[in-house]
Amino acid sequence: MKTIQGPALFLAQFASNEAPFNSWDSITKWAADCGYKGVQVPSWDGRLIDLAKAANSKDYCDEFKGKAAENGVEVTELSTHLQGQLVAVHPAYDAAFDGFADPSVHGNPKARQEWAVDQVKKAISASANMGIKNLASFSGALAWPYIYPWPQRPAGLIETAFDELARRWRPILDHAEDNDVNVCYEIHPGEDLHDGVTFEMFLERVDNHARCNMLYDPSHYVLQCLDYIDNIDIYKDRIKMFHVKDAEFNPTGRQGVYSGYQPWVDRAGRFRSLGDGQVDFGAVFSKMAANDFDGWAVVEWECCLKHPEDGAREGAQFVKDHIIRVTERAFDDFADGGTDEAANRKMLGID
User: Per residue of the chain (351 residues), what is the pLDDT tens digit?
Assistant: 889 999 999 999 999 999 999 999 999 999 999 999 999 999 999 999 999 999 999 999 999 999 999 999 999 999 999 999 999 999 999 999 999 999 999 999 999 999 999 999 999 999 999 999 999 999 999 999 999 999 999 999 999 999 999 999 999 999 999 999 999 999 999 999 999 999 999 999 999 999 999 999 999 999 999 999 999 999 999 999 999 999 999 999 999 999 999 999 999 999 999 999 999 999 999 999 999 999 999 999 999 999 999 999 999 999 999 999 997 766 555 556 667 888 888 888 997
Closest CA to 181 of 142, 236, 125: 125
- Write down the H helix ranges in 267-324: 281-290, 308-322
- Tell which phi-psi region holds residue 336, choosing left (phi > 0), alpha (psi between -120 and 50) or beta: beta
CA-angle at 83, arms to 118 and 107, nearest 5°:
90
d(CA 136, CA 186): 7
DSSP code, position 221? H
Helix axis angle, 157-178 to 196-205, nearest 10°: 70
* pLDDT number for residue 333: 58
Tens of pLDDT, residues 154-198: 999 999 999 999 999 999 999 999 999 999 999 999 999 999 999
Rounded alpha-carbon distances, angstroms, from residue 3 to 73, 95, 237, 295: 18, 44, 16, 9
33 close to 23: Cβ distance less than 8 angstroms: no
The amino acid at residue 49 is I
Global model pTM greater than 0.75: yes
Boundaries of every domain in the chain: 5-347
5-347 — its CATH code? 3.20.20.150
Separation between Cα atoms, residue 123 and residue 42, nearest integer Å: 10
